[in-house]
Amino acid sequence: MTVEASTLDIPVAVAPAGMRRRVLRRILRNPLAVTGLVVVCVAALLAIFAQFVAPFPYDQVNFNEPLRPPSGTHWFGTDSFGRDQFSRAVYGLRASVLVGLLSVVFSLTIGVPFGLFAGFYGVLDPVVSRLTDTLLAFPFLVLAVGLAAILGPSLTTAVIAIGVAQIPGVVRVTRSETLRLRGMDFVAAAVAGGAGDAVLLRRHILPNATNALIVQATVAVPGAIIGEAVLSFLGLGVRPPTSSLGIMLADAQTFVRDGPWMAVFPGLTIVVLALALNLLGDGLRDALDPRESRSA
């Protein structure tokens, strides 16, 4: 006996290529999402090709040009050591993007399996939920700062600390999606067809939870970028002489009056990048909404 797709509790699946085209069309119809996508792509290109974009080495000291305001030679001005602030911001952007992506991948790698098992196996749900609630009792930045202080300052520490702080959110999203999908007719049909737990999780539940996880990851990246800036600002993230937007803000504290550009440009970089990622995340959430697919 075969089960018709029209009898299931979900819309007929769209071919991957067709789904990608449909999502892309919806994003392109959203001006804010397009703006966010363009900014994110530009930031990614700057981070990848920083050594070709930056006009000066980020650690090049020039004591003849300290605290120079923005000009045609130094677009973002110079700091107290005469280092070009635009070059340092480009390389700092690379550190922010790298930490943002790696920390989110870290949190997904650990959080998704825990969320799947908690939502699928009721006996594990109380244990995982209590552990998640324990981590959620600590604010995101407080938990990240505490872990970074224990592990010691480094780029790897920033990735681990921020990733661990984001695991509870991933677990909760994955668990809620698993609970929702587990009760649907297509899962019952797969069980009736003899599918085991591993097949149900791998082929039916996880693929259908991917949209929610993509949105969660997109929203988590700006939080990770801000977290990296905070850790580096406090001396718990990227270590000098490596450039970081947080380190640039920390260096600007003493020279806010004499060189306000030292704080303005790295601060604006963080704000614009975080805002663009949030706009893109909102656009992806709307584009991947299955309710929209029925009306499209």
The dihedral built from the CA positions of residue 86, 163, 16 and 33, taken in this order, carries a sign that is negative
Distance CA 43, CA 66 (A): 27
- Whether residue 127 is contained in a domain is answered as yes
pTM score, whole prediction: 0.83
Closest to 137 in 3D by CA, of 173, 168, 160: 168
- Whether residue 242 is contained in a domain is answered as yes
Q: What is the CATH number of the domain that holds 223?
A: 1.10.3720.10
- Whether residue 67 is contained in a domain is answered as no
Q: How many domains does the chain have?
A: 1
pLDDT (0 to 100) of residue 21? 79
Whether the CB-CB separation of 137 and 80 falls below 8 Å is answered with no
pLDDT category at 194 given cuts 50, 70, 90 is confident
- Whether residue 14 is contained in a domain is answered as no
pLDDT at 296 > cutoff 80: no
Number of residues in the chain: 296
- Whether residue 10 is contained in a domain is answered as no
- Whether residue 7 is contained in a domain is answered as no
- Whether residue 19 is contained in a domain is answered as no
Report residue 84: phi and psi, to 5°: -70, 120
pLDDT, tens only, 241-291: 888 999 999 999 988 888 899 999 999 999 999 999 999 988 888 887 655
- Whether residue 268 is contained in a domain is answered as yes
Amino acid at 135: L
CB atoms within 10 A of CB 184: 16
Query: What range defines the domain where residue 206 resides?
Result: 24-58+73-295
pLDDT (0 to 100) of residue 291? 56
